[in-house]
Amino acid sequence: EAQVTQNPRYLITVTGKKLTVTCSQNMNHEYMSWYRQDPGLGLRQIYYSMNVEVTDKGDVPEGYKVSRKEKRNFPLILESPSPNQTSLYFCASSARQGMVNEKLFFGSGTQLSVL
Amino acid sequence: AQKVTQAQTEISVVEKEDVTLDCVYETRDTTYYLFWYKQPPSGELVFLIRRNSFDEQNEISGRYSWNFQKSTSSFNFTITASQVVDSAVYFCALSGSPPGFNKFYFGSGTKLNVKP
């Protein structure tokens, strides 16, 4: 089954404790990206990756890191989480038509609470 | 700047009513893509439609239809004869042409409540 898998589904942590949210896709997609969803703000793009070892900032990259060492995986790293990073996070991937992305396939989401 | 506005925060209708969700976008790109996604109470994001800026034909899929008007920068979504299962948050999104095609911009969402 084609899917984007995120883990964990729920995460509670404390300020400053490094954490990683994993994301993996089995569709051989080149493009992957991370979003955070906050009430009243919709989804905002954190980082994206066009291919292995190629990443770039979205609209809200501060406080986050990513890496793309393999095509299928795109982990999101919070090196020193703060309470304002409490949010619902989504990973997504997309096939490409030339230079253009097709539709985004989303993971199930990770609800992060930073105390 | 790229921006998507969904001015309707929440809409409530009674089952079988028709309902239109508004989406207005801003972009300087001549080529761009518009999307609608559905987020039911279970939380996942479900793709509904992708439309490119050169295709202004309206689209119908069952009870769903989309009206794309470049002149007003709008991409509205209509559900005909709404059902309780349509209750969800609906997001409109925009993706631009190169080099901006890797960025996606989402509206704040419209929560649709369909009551039996």
pLDDT of residue B100: 60
Kindly report, residue by residue over B84-116, the tens digit of the pLDDT: 999 999 999 999 766 667 889 999 999 999 999
pLDDT of residue B99: 63
Q: Is B108 on the interface with A (CB under 8 A)?
A: yes
A106: which chain B residues are within 8 Å (Cβ-Cβ)?
37, 44-45
Radius of gyration of chain B (CA): 14
Q: Report DSSP state, residue A85.
A: G
Q: Nearest-CA distance from B15 to chain A in Å?
A: 26
Q: Is a pLDDT exceeding 90 seen at residue A92?
A: yes
Average pLDDT, chain A: 94
- For B98, the closest of A40, A58, A99 (CB atoms) is A99
Structure tokens at A27: 């569709």
Contact present, A63 and A78 (Cβ < 8 Å): yes
Q: Nearest-CA distance from B81 to chain A in Å?
A: 26
Three-class HEC string of B55-107: CCCCEEECCEEEEEEHHHCEEEEEECCCCHHHCEEEEEEEEECCCHHHCEEEC
Which residues are A29's β-sheet partners? none
Provide the CB-side half-sphere exposure for B12 (13 A, CA): 2
Structure tokens at A41: 């703000």
Kindly report, residue by residue over A45-62, the tens digit of the pLDDT: 999 998 999 999 999 999
Contact present, A103 and B38 (Cβ < 8 Å): no
Q: Is a pLDDT exceeding 90 seen at residue A99?
A: no
Q: What percent of chain A has pLDDT over 90?
A: 89
Kindly report, residue by residue over B44-91, the tens digit of the pLDDT: 999 999 998 988 888 888 999 999 999 999 999 999 999 999 999 999
Residue A100: pLDDT band (50, 70, 90) is confident
Rounded CA-CA distance B102/B16 in Å is 38
**Interface mutation vs chain B, best among A68, A106, A110, most B CBs within 10 Å:** A106
Strand segments, DSSP code E, in A15-58 are 19-25, 31-38, 42-51, 54-57
Rounded CA-CA distance A100/A21 in Å is 27
